Structure 1
Amino acid sequence: MEAKRTIGHNPDTIAASPPPFSLQTRMVVLTYLAYFFYYLTRKHLGVATHALTEDGFSEKLIAAVQTGYGACYAIGQFMSGALGDRIGPRIGLSLGMILSAIATLAFGIFPFVAVLAICFTLNGLFQATGWPNCCKVVTLWVSHAKRGRVMGFWLTCYIFGSLAANMIAGYILEHYGWRQVFLFTGVTVLLVGIIQGLFLINTPEDAGYSFGEDAPEIAVERGRGEGFSHMIREPAVLLLGFSYTGLKFVRYAFFAWLPYYLATAVGMSDGNSAYVSNGFEIGGVLGLLIGGIVADRFFPNNRCRLAFLALIGMVAALVVYRMSSASSGLWGNVAGLAVIGFFLYIADAIISGTAAQDIGGSGSAASAAGIINGIGSTSMLFAGMLPIAIKDRWGWDGVFVCFIILGVISSAILLPLALREKVGRAA
């Protein structure tokens, strides 16, 4: 039965009539598509790098731009989280996508060094609008009881978005050239950003509905303990952020160097190393879907407990893979990487998404998600360079020891939250 609509947007007059499932689904799907398409203007430079160097752009320049992008992305997480809670996620998402598209189109139209350096460094700020604002939309439109399984589905967008971005940019690069990569991805993201601005609705109250007794922050007075200034002083948010730093380093190091490791250390061909590395993402998709269901059913009051267990599982999987990858063959490597991805993505989804939503609630979800992801994203500055520096000094075995140590540290940081009876809305 469709929920009864309420009249007016005054929170004191809106009755306990939740939005219809179709409207909730529409908001979740809109944000899923938004974050999926963010990747088109996030990964295009990496795909086109070789072609750019052949056309006269230096490796050092592109490396500097990528480093600047990472720094802006980390800073932008904090800014976007605060603004998302203040002005609403619809404007933040739409504006961020449009600006990212303009930065991409500018280089496609004016392919000069200065345009590359300025636009793609600033693109880190524009890309940072995605995560906090998408998390806030899901927080506002999905009840606490269903949030784990919904986020388990929703978070597959950044795996599928990453894979699709690589394939689309690669196809255009091969058939039309690198300038068309930036023109196509820019136009596509521009259109998706406009769609977000036209059709996304900030809150159920804006459409005349309310979750009432199922609202995520019914015990908190409106306006009390909300916003960036409160979340940045919340110990649980900071613990999640520092725990996420090690986890995100491992994930981005795998993104950057896994095919190279498989080719140079395991001895696979370039083609097989690319295919086998997808085992990491395949395991991640399974982890997100299964982890969301398990979190809702067995850990509804403290999803951080499942994240802690997943981190322990990830460390164990890394230990086994370190010892066996060189001798386990193609399918053995696929299986080993899938197990690592399975546990890593369960922990990733809870720490950066669901736990941030649980603590931030409808008033501060964007700020909490932005702070956690902002702290975690500082590790992106080192995930490209540090693994190779360690490999040159101690070999690939040293790199995996580094991953294992970081996993243990992340687990230890998360332990105080895992031991709590409940991790929820910060008052």
Structure 2
Amino acid sequence: MQTTRPNPIPESPAATSPPVSLQTRMVLLSYLAYFFYYFTRKHLGVVTPAMVESGFSDTTIGWVQTAYGVCYATGQFLSGALGDRLGPRIALTAGMILSGIATLAFGIFPFMGVLAVCLSINGLFQSTGWPNACKVVSQWVGFRHRGRVMGVWMTCYIFGSMVANLVAGYVLGKFGWREVFLVTGIAVIVVGIAQGLFLINRPEDRGHRLERRASNASGASAKGGFMLMIRQPSILLLGVCYTGLKFVRYTFFAWSPYYLASKVGMANDSAAYVSNGFEVGGILGLAAGGWVGDRYFADNRVRLALVALLGMIAAVLLYRVISADGGIWGNAAGLAAIGFFLYIADSIVSGTAAQDIGGAESTASAAGIINGIGSTAQLFAGIVPIWLKNTWGWDAVFVSFIVLAVFSSLAVLPVARQRSLSKA
């Protein structure tokens, strides 16, 4: 496996565009990579009710989620540089295999110390996913078609989250919570090995040439892109906005099955299935948001993100009222409404707006900064919700969602007020 920096190689006059079939395979490989990252990201949230029943403290699990968030946020700023230096193939392969091993370790040795260490540093391994999977797409898809491809490709993190919930819920109900870690760990290791065997960093590595913007061919460094983007006020404001969105999203990831089991009274496996309503709403939100954004907000899609944030506030207020007595379908619908609006805002803030401001040459840096700032919220999404629940009850957690949605709306308002988003 190549470990040297993939420096530009001179283009041969005979170099041709890569075949569509080869481009499609690379995009699908990156899609599968980030899809399966969620198998070793969602497992702890799904099995938390069963772990608490078997003697683990929910507060301890909350601190592990927080430590995971620290590692994940730190890794966001580092993993992009790793991918630029070694290539996304090595970064994705190493990240997935190590994440799978960390998960297997706790399944085999289910002790508190292993939980604290392995599932905390799993955040570092998980952080290799987003920037390097995005880098594969940027390498294999020309800038003229990247927006349409990314609109479909970004469903990987919603479908991955849904299927991870379903698989973990099935294994939990059929076998037990230890087996959840064994199954998900093995699955991610297998997919990681496949990345190492079949993923190609870029078309030039196979003698092809992809149309790129002139600035990409000029040899502009990743450092220059990062330093340019870090000075953009719009990028920083989007990052601040993303902290609120990530806190809400990761709180649902970590604690919605536990809420449905402990507060609503569902069985553990049913709680895992019903929590998928959040992701189902997210899929519908991405589809609707993409169409509405192109048709009515093409100059500045952040305006649509602001509207979605206001919609999310209304959805959370509604869910507070119906969740206790809503049963399976009422809770699934309420979670879907929240997910619908949240994922519209999430995809624009972390993806489309980063592309609009950064352009093809600086999209990775823009997205990395926004996601890096936003990921600091994961430091709190583990322990703060359970602290609020233990102190004031679950209703306080929903109040925190409303407060953070208002905060995110105010942070993004100056960007939404711009006439149009243009490349920096």
CA contact (8 A) 1:150 1:292 kept: no
Deviates more, 1:158-167 or 1:66-75: 158-167
Check 1:227–1:218 CA distance in 2 against 1; reply closer, same or farther (3 A cut).
closer
Q: Distance in 2 between matches of 1:228 and 1:276?
A: 40
Following superposition of structure 1 onto structure 2, how do residues 197-216 of structure 1 map, counting pairs within 5 Å? 197-212=196-211, 215=212
Q: Distance in 1 between matches of 2:170 and 2:394?
A: 32
Q: Distance in 1 between matches of 2:165 and 2:345?
A: 25
Deviates more, 1:82-91 or 1:239-248: 82-91
Match of 2:220 among 189, 213, 223: 223
Q: Distance in 2 between matches of 1:384 and 1:168?
A: 22
- Aligned to 1:420, what secondary structure does the other structure show? coil
Deviates more, 1:180-189 or 1:254-263: 254-263
Match of 2:400 among 387, 399, 402: 402
Q: Distance in 2 between matches of 1:394 and 1:197?
A: 48
Following superposition of structure 1 onto structure 2, how do residues 168-247 of structure 1 map, counting pairs within 5 Å? 168-212=167-211, 215=212, 218=215, 221-223=218-220, 226-247=224-245
Corresponding residue number in structure 1 for 2:352? 354
Q: Distance in 1 between matches of 2:138 and 2:220?
A: 16
**Residue identity in the other structure for 1:223:** A
Q: Distance in 2 between matches of 1:114 and 1:398?
A: 30
Following superposition of structure 1 onto structure 2, how do residues 238-317 of structure 1 map, counting pairs within 5 Å? 238-259=236-257, 269-270=266-267, 275-317=273-315
User: Post-superposition shift, 1:405?
Assistant: 2.5
Corresponding residue number in structure 1 for 2:127? 128
Deviates more, 1:289-298 or 1:237-246: 289-298
User: Post-superposition shift, 1:104?
Assistant: 2.6
Match of 1:369 among 360, 367, 370: 367
Q: Distance in 1 between matches of 2:173 and 2:328?
A: 28
User: Post-superposition shift, 1:331?
Assistant: 4.6
Corresponding residue number in structure 2 for 1:6? none
**Residue identity in the other structure for 1:375:** I
Check 1:342–1:221 CA distance in 2 against 1; reply closer, same or farther (3 A cut).
same
**Residue identity in the other structure for 1:192:** V
Q: Distance in 2 between matches of 1:289 and 1:47?
A: 26
**Residue identity in the other structure for 1:71:** V
CA contact (8 A) 2:66 2:383 kept: no
- Aligned to 1:201, what secondary structure does the other structure show? coil
Q: Distance in 2 between matches of 1:422 and 1:145?
A: 19
CA contact (8 A) 2:38 2:161 kept: yes
What runs of 5+ residues in structure 2 fail to find an aligned partner? 1-7
User: Post-superposition shift, 1:29?
Assistant: 1.1
| Structure 2 residue 422 is the aligned partner of structure 1 residue 419 | no
Deviates more, 1:312-321 or 1:220-229: 220-229
Corresponding residue number in structure 2 for 1:385? 383
- Aligned to 1:223, what secondary structure does the other structure show? coil
Check 1:10–1:45 CA distance in 2 against 1; reply closer, same or farther (3 A cut).
same
User: Post-superposition shift, 1:165?
Assistant: 2.2
CA contact (8 A) 2:308 2:345 kept: yes
Corresponding residue number in structure 1 for 2:40? 41
CA RMSD in angstroms comes to 3.5
User: Post-superposition shift, 1:131?
Assistant: 1.0
Corresponding residue number in structure 2 for 1:22? 21
**Residue identity in the other structure for 1:67:** T
Following superposition of structure 1 onto structure 2, how do residues 61-76 of structure 1 map, counting pairs within 5 Å? 61-76=60-75
Q: Distance in 2 between matches of 1:60 and 1:159?
A: 27
Q: Distance in 2 between matches of 1:393 and 1:69?
A: 23
CA contact (8 A) 2:308 2:342 kept: yes
Deviates more, 1:317-326 or 1:30-39: 317-326
Deviates more, 1:57-66 or 1:32-41: 57-66
Q: TM-score, normalised by structure 2?
A: 0.82
CA contact (8 A) 1:145 1:296 kept: no
Aligned residues: 416
User: Post-superposition shift, 1:69?
Assistant: 1.4
Q: Distance in 1 between matches of 2:217 and 2:162?
A: 41
Q: Distance in 2 between matches of 1:193 and 1:35?
A: 10
CA contact (8 A) 1:133 1:366 kept: no
| Structure 2 residue 100 is the aligned partner of structure 1 residue 101 | yes
User: Post-superposition shift, 1:83?
Assistant: 2.2
**Residue identity in the other structure for 2:83:** G
Corresponding residue number in structure 1 for 2:5? none
| Structure 2 residue 74 is the aligned partner of structure 1 residue 84 | no
Check 1:338–1:147 CA distance in 2 against 1; reply closer, same or farther (3 A cut).
farther
Q: Distance in 2 between matches of 1:220 and 1:425?
A: 17
